[in-house]
């Protein structure tokens, strides 16, 4: 029987809003959501913790939204 390859990461999700260019992915190995800012060169992936939030309210809103969408996508709810 053939073994199905499953990537370490879920599909990438993108948000381009209010000056932010963010991408998120679910890390299956660690069970975490990672977010990177595409305006950085090179973009650095950071584990996002919604209980801590981001550096301001608007960025926290976008990161929380990406976090939720990445989890729902991984659970195949969205």
Helix, coil or strand: residue 24:
strand
pLDDT tens digits along 67-77: 999 999 999 87
Q: What are phi and psi of 33, to 5 degrees?
A: -100, 130
Phi, psi of 19 (to 5 degrees): 85, -5
d(CA 24, CA 46): 9
Domain range annotation of the chain? 13-74
Q: Is 77 helix (H, G, I), strand (E, B) or coil?
A: coil
Other C-beta atoms lying within 10 Å of the C-beta of residue 52: 8
pTM of whole model > 0.85?
yes
Q: Give the number of other CB atoms < 10 A from CB of residue 24.
A: 26
Instruction: Give the pLDDT confidence of 26-71 residue by residue, as tens digits.
Output: 999 999 999 999 999 999 999 999 999 999 999 999 999 999 999 9
């Amino acid at each position: 029987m053939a073994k199905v390859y499953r990537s370490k990461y879920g599909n990438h999700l993108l948000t381009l809003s209010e000056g932010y260019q963010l991408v998120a992915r679910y890390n299956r190995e660690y069970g975490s959501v990672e977010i990177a800012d595409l305006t950085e060169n090179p973009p650095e992936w950071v584990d996002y913790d919604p209980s801590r939030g981001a550096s301001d309210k608007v960025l926290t809103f976008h990161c929380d939204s990406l976090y939720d969408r990445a989890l729902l996508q991984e659970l195949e709810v969205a």
